[in-house]
Amino acid sequence: MPSLPPAIAEIRLAVRTALADLPAESTVVVALSGGADSLAVAAATAFEAPKIGLRVETLTVDHGLQEGSDAVAQRAAQIAAGLGLNARVATVEVGRGADGPEAAARAARYDALRRAADGAAAVLLGHTLDDQAETVLLGLARGAGATSLQGMAPSREDDDGLRWVRPLLGVRRATTRAFCAASDLAVWDDPHNLDDRFARVRVRERVLPVLEAEMGPGVAEALARTAEQLREDAEAFDEMIHETIEDIVEHAEAGISVSAAALAANPAALRNRIIRLVVDSEFGASLTRVQTLEVARLATEWAGQGPIDLPGCSAARLGGRIVFTAR
């Protein structure tokens, strides 16, 4: 009996591990673009899921941003159907988002996946270790802090209980291509992945290769390990934050308030995380580091300064409390 090609064995194991804790007899949806990464996930899931009683569907999202995108989407669906999967295609309209076309396309894609996964246990995404390394470098370049440097979580659960799972975060991109070659799967290469107008493409094609050449192999793995370690730290911080918030946060008219003295008494890292979490959870807005530090000064360097305008709200010192009010 011929041995299994290493790439197929590695990816099947990664997918099998990711599926292991999903409820029996549930459905999983694979986000399928037709590229090597998502094809590898789809094919491995088609092999592994029936063994543990899971149903598998794929969704290919046609963003309509490239000529012939409808044909690409249909071809991906046909490959999925050939794997024995229930394959669907969704066409979306991509608006002109404030954060650029990439972000707008991503938002439209995730909305379509969320609708397609109604009643499903999980959505499987094809991000690899290389994607993780690129995400960490992009976060580092933006100076976005530890939250951004955590990269993508292997698994997260949204407010509706739907899990978003990335089984291949420990797998190199080259392995997914080897998997597809060994499985005779025709890979579609997205032209956008070579378009250097996008920062991620420049990191992939220029920055990471230079780092590997100058510092030796293993840079991508080191970046992915950094993300994992920061996620562990963040989980510990989150526990501390939630325990602290119970004692120092109160609901206020049209908003929420935090004890200034308690904020000032906490270490800066914890203080800043509390501020960001309060604003995010109450108003659904993210603060920059500059905005966070300005709010913190209301507790640590109070000198009568006036209200601070923030995304979705304002912050002001009223007596011994910092009050966040919706705008």
Angle at 287 between CA 238 and CA 237, to 5 degrees: 10
What's the pLDDT score for residue 249?
87
The pLDDT tens digits for 158-182 are 988 999 999 999 999 999 999 999 9
CA atoms within 13 A on the CB side of 274: 30
Determine what percent of the chain is predicted with pLDDT higher than 90.
Answer: 64
- For the chain, the structural domain boundaries read 6-219, 253-326
Find the helix or strand (DSSP H, E) in which 309 lies: strand 308-310
Close Cβ partners of 145 (under 8 Å, ≥ 6 residues apart): 139, 289
Q: State how far the Cα of 315 lies from the Cα of 323, in Å rounded to an integer.
A: 6
What's the CATH fold of domain 6-219? Rossmann fold (3.40.50)
Q: State how far the Cα of 224 lies from the Cα of 172, in Å rounded to an integer.
A: 11
Tell me the pLDDT band of 239, cut-offs 50, 70 and 90: confident
A 10 A CB-CB count for 249 gives 20
A 10 A CB-CB count for 93 gives 8
- What dotted CATH number matches 253-326? 3.30.465.60
Tell me the pLDDT band of 238, cut-offs 50, 70 and 90: confident
Q: State how far the Cα of 131 lies from the Cα of 220, in Å rounded to an integer.
A: 9
Instruction: Indicate the pTM of the whole model.
Output: 0.81
The pLDDT tens digits for 97-122 are 656 677 788 888 999 999 999 999 99
Q: Kindly tell me the number of DSSP H helices and DSSP E strands found in the chain.
A: 13, 11
Angle at 324 between CA 322 and CA 327, to 5 degrees: 150
What's the pLDDT score for residue 98?
59
Q: Which is more confident, 180 or 245?
A: 180
